[in-house]
């Protein structure tokens, strides 16, 4: 037998999970035995195992039976419920996220878990079986939402996360009585059934508890279980990884990582479908012994002898999704360098990780390192790039492969950056690899350094390296960052103690300087961050990237600071362009000067110039400089900066951004003065004087018009303080039935590549019946671009959720109407409502038409 408990102990633990008394569950077990549902057995030693089938019966009895005496009848009735047909667009209770996409994509995507018409009891037992097995538990966690049972009507459902009409959705697989089946006695009036509203309510079991229950069950040694064989090749691949990891002492951490990677994969696949054409796939670049795929990104106006950055994705990510999250192509457009993005293939690694732990893939002139080296040569040849300025970076498995590339081909790379990675040659094989990421492997600096020196015949100089790690990373232990620094400090012949220690944006930075004073190693410890890359998403000069799984919006941009560490942010002469391109560039520059960036003083709305037209650092146009930190049109930070520059107290060219390495000693003098004024209440009076006096007038001043929405000032629930928009719609109360819609709109002029982002909290209450609904929508010219709809359910977002990079290209170069809408629809006199709190609305590449 494999894992799990015997029956007697299982009932005790199940009672704790469900919040029931242990005596109650013991009595229900007794009824199951006396009713002939299960064979009797001893309570102590020799007690029969609690199989998933047994657990499903007891769980149904506890959830469905209003009273203990009805346990057996409840199990027999509800376990035999049959699946009912679910048609697209039907009234199955669900929550829909995002707008509908292509009209021909009307069918929900298939789940990896196939129930194949099983009755409710067998389907529930199958889910418990999958939750019990290590290799499939992560799939249950990612695809199942919960179990719902109605005691007042013989109806139950298994709720899954799926895709419905191009949107993420909660879809209910509903089960009901067979045509010739009778309801249980307590609901059958012909057998004396009476309805007691106090007992006959719905019961819901979330997937978290379902998995907890599944972990207590006992599986047989028979690995040919039918439910596990229905999951397909992708789950089988993960199953193989889990089997290999099962022998390690880090099984629970591995299981948690697999679950997280499932979410990463889902986001990655979504980006791949949306970002087609952003990257160019290149073939025929060499013998490719590592069987990798090659993607590139080359800006249209690439400078002569431009640098090259090799970007390596993490597990279950793709070249496109990593680029989207990290924002490297945004910087490539701004500062003029080329990108090479190798991509792992599923058949090489079941999680699409780079194989940094395999000897055949972490040595010079072998496997994946040689494939990447061949790609570099192809890029240098095709685009006339500077061989002296080739850099490599990556996160997680891509970070580990970065250390491989720096060690095996140090003559190729001028620098590297490792995010959430491990030292070179920390492992030989998967088992040591798991030990390295979960526990860390400690060696002396000399031992680490010798591994790098032995990887090639190179004698120096060595690449400079930037190391980033979150101190709350549970996937790759932060001690690995210290070991990487130790390894490369020895390679460079540097002291173990850093030359410089400082705090940057609230996070620790250390640097090691060489004899000439150049920083050769830097290390960032990002406070409170888990696994992944540190990001500061936005349209500012120091911002880029998109928040997503393993891309963490923590207020500091690793991408931008790594590029700065390598020296890629300096101005470079641009190649001559064709007349048409020159006209386009001139027009873009003129449009950029007219663009506005409206900060929090204007209620709930910000606009930013397009990334394509941002000037290089230090050369911002006056209009853009004033817009960078505007609050109701007054850029106090910019005024202070300009004054300090004029007086010679601040280096010119720093007024268009928050400080970075070019600021004197890294000190943001204007920011300090601005913050002091804010603390004294001076800036607050400038920014919010008009808004605080007349919220409705402030909405109109900012161009918003409509009803049912208001501006909340100094509300403690605001995302980061200040004003936010609040909308409320209700139906079913005060004699009002049917659809009730409240909306607010404003006009905006969009540029050629507009994107929308905002933060929100929603409270959608539509759990009255299958025909009631509540929704929140964002529309452009009446076309939905983002939406959340609850049908027959309650959907509450208890924390702020950021919706980033919503593509508005279909509305490019037009004056459009942006609308926020809340709606509720009730068919009976029972309240249905929709509430929305919206803040930090940002449209990249827009020019405001409203008077401010």
Q: At a CB cut-off of 8 Å and minimum separation 6, what does 243 contact?
A: 134, 135
Whether 564 shows a pLDDT value over 60: the answer reads yes
pLDDT band at 39 (very low <50, low <70, confident <90, very high): confident
Structure-block tokens of residue 844: 């990249």
pLDDT band at 370 (very low <50, low <70, confident <90, very high): very high
Backbone angles phi, psi at 248, to 5 degrees: -85, 160
Selecting among 396, 397, 631, 745, the annotated active-site residue is: 396
Structure-block tokens of residue 591: 């449009």
Whether 55 shows a pLDDT value over 80: the answer reads yes
Least confident of 271-280, 385-394, 654-663, 839-848: 654-663
Whether 463 shows a pLDDT value over 90: the answer reads yes
Q: What is the DSSP letter of 820?
A: E
> What is the reported pLDDT for 334?
93
Rounded mean pLDDT of the chain?
Answer: 79
> What is the reported pLDDT for 508?
95
> What is the reported pLDDT for 772?
86
> What is the reported pLDDT for 660?
41
Backbone angles phi, psi at 622, to 5 degrees: -55, -40
Instruction: Please state the rounded mean pLDDT for residues 762-777.
Output: 87
The string of DSSP codes covering 27-95 is HHHHHHHHTTSS----SSTTPPB--HHHHHHHHHHHHH-SSGGGHHHHHHHHHTPEEPP--TTS---EE
Whether 265 shows a pLDDT value over 60: the answer reads yes
Least confident of 47-61, 167-181, 184-198, 688-702: 688-702
> What is the reported pLDDT for 684?
42
Q: For residue range 103-145, what is the model confidence (pLDDT) as tens digits?
A: 444 444 456 677 777 899 999 998 998 888 776 787 788 788 8
pTM reported for the whole predicted model:
0.49
Q: To the nearest whole percent, how much of the chain has pLDDT over 70?
A: 73
- Nearest Cα residue to 533 out of 596, 585, 470: 470
Strand runs labelled E in 99-182:
144-150, 155-164, 167-176
> What is the reported pLDDT for 135?
65
pLDDT band at 101 (very low <50, low <70, confident <90, very high): low
> What is the reported pLDDT for 639?
55
Give yes or no: 396 in active site.
Answer: yes
Strand runs labelled E in 275-428:
280-282, 293-297, 308-312, 338-343, 390-395, 415-419
Q: For residue range 325-335, what is the model confidence (pLDDT) as tens digits?
A: 999 999 999 99
Instruction: Please state the rounded mean pLDDT for residues 530-558.
Output: 92
Report the C-alpha gap between 731 and 739 in whole angstroms.
Answer: 7
> What is the reported pLDDT for 164?
62
């Amino acid at each position: 037998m494999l894992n799990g408990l015997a029956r007697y102990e299982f009932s005790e633990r199940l009672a704790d999970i469900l919040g029931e008394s242990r005596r109650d569950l013991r009595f229900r077990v007794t009824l199951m035995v006396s009713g002939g549902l299960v064979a009797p057995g001893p309570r102590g030693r020799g007690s029969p195992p609690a199989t998933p089938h047994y657990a499903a019966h007891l769980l149904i009895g506890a959830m469905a039976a209003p009273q203990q005496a009805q346990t057996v009848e409840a199990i027999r009735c509800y376990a035999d419920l049959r699946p009912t047909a679910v048609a697209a667009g039907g009234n199955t209770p669900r929550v829909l996220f995002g707008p509908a996409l292509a009209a021909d994509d009307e069918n929900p995507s298939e789940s990896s878990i196939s129930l194949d018409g099983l009755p409710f009891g067998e389907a529930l037992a199958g889910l418990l079986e999958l939750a019990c097995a290590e290799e499939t538990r992560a799939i249950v966690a990612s695809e199942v939402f919960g179990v719902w049972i109605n005691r007042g009507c013989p109806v139950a459902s298994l709720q899954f996360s799926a895709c419905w009409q191009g949107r993420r959705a909660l879809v209910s697989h509903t089960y009901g009585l067979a045509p010739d089946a009778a309801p249980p006695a307590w609901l059958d009036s012909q057998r004396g059934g009476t309805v007691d509203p106090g007992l006959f309510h719905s019961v819901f079991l979330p997937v978290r508890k379902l998995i907890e229950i599944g972990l207590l069950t006992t599986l047989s040694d028979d690995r040919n279980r039918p439910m596990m064989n229905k999951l397909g090749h992708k789950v089988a691949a993960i199953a193989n990884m889990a089997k290999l990891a099962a022998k390690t002492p880090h099984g629970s951490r591995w299981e948690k990582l697999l679950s997280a990677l499932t979410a990463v994969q889902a986001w990655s696949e979504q980006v791949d479908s949306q970002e087609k054409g952003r990257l160019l796939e290149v073939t025929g670049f060499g013998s490719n012994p590592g069987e990798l795929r090659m993607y590139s990104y080359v800006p249209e106006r690439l400078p002569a002898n431009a640098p090259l950055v090799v970007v390596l994705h993490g597990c279950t990510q793709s070249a496109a999704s990593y680029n989207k999250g990290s924002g490297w192509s945004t910087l490539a457009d701004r500062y003029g360098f080329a990108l090479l993005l190798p991509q792992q293939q599923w058949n090489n690694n079941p999680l699409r990780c780079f194989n940094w732990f395999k000897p055949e893939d972490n040595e010079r002139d072998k496997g994946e390192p040689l494939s990447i080296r061949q790609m570099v040569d192809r890029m240098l040849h095709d685009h006339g790039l500077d061989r002296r300025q080739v850099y490599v970076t990556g996160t997680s498995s891509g970070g580990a492969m970065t250390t491989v590339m720096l060690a095996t081909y140090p003559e190729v790379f001028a620098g590297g950056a490792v995010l959430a990675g491990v030292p070179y040659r920390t492992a030989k094989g998967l088992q040591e690899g798991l030990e390295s990421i979960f526990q860390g492997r400690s060696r002396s600096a000399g031992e680490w350094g010798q591994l790098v020196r032995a990887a090639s015949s190179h004698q120096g100089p060595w690449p400079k390296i930037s190391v980033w790690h979150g101190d709350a990373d549970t996937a790759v232990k932060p001690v690995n960052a210290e070991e990487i620094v130790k390894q490369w400090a020895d390679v460079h012949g540097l002291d173990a103690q850093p030359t410089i220690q400082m705090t940057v944006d609230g996070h620790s930075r250390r640097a090691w300087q060489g004899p000439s004073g150049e920083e050769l190693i830097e290390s960032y410890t990002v406070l409170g961050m888990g696994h992944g890359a540190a990001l500061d998403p936005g349209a500012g000069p120091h911002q880029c990237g998109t928040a997503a799984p393993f891309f963490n919006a923590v207020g500091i941009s690793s991408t931008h600071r790594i590029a700065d560490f390598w020296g890629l942010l300096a101005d470079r002469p641009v190649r001559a362009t064709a007349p048409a391109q020159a006209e386009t560039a001139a027009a873009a520059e003129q449009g950029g000067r007219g663009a506005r960036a409206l900060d929090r003083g204007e209620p709930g709305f910000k606009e930013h110039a397009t990334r394509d037209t941002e000037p290089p650092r230090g050369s911002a146009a006056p209009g853009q400089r004033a817009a960078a930190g505007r609050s109701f049109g007054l850029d106090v930070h910019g005024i202070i900066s300009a004054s300090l520059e004029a007086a010679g107290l601040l280096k010119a060219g720093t007024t268009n951004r928050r400080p970075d390495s070019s600021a004197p000693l890294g000190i943001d003098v204007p920011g300090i003065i601005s913050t002091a004024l804010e603390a004294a209440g001076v800036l607050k009076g400038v920014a919010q004087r008009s808004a605080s006096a007349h919220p409705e007038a402030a909405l109109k001043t900012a161009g918003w018009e409509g009803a049912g929405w208001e501006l909340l000032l100094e509300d403690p629930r605001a995302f980061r303080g200040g004003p936010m928009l609040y909308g409320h719609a209700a139906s079913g109360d005060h004699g009002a039935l049917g659809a009730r819609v409240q909306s607010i709109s404003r006009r905006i002029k969009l540029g050629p590549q507009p994107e929308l982002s905002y933060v929100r909290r929603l409270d959608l209450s539509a759990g009255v019946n299958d025909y009631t609904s509540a929704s929140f929508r964002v529309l452009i010219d009446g076309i939905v671009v983002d939406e959340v709809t609850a049908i027959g359910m309650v959907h509450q977002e208890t924390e702020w959720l950021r919706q980033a990079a919503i593509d508005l290209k279909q509305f490019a170069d037009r004056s459009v109407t942006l609308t926020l809408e809340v709606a509720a629809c009730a068919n009976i006199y029972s309240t249905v409502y929709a509430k929305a709190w919206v803040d930090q609305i940002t449209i990249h590449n827009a020019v405001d038409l409203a008077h401010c």
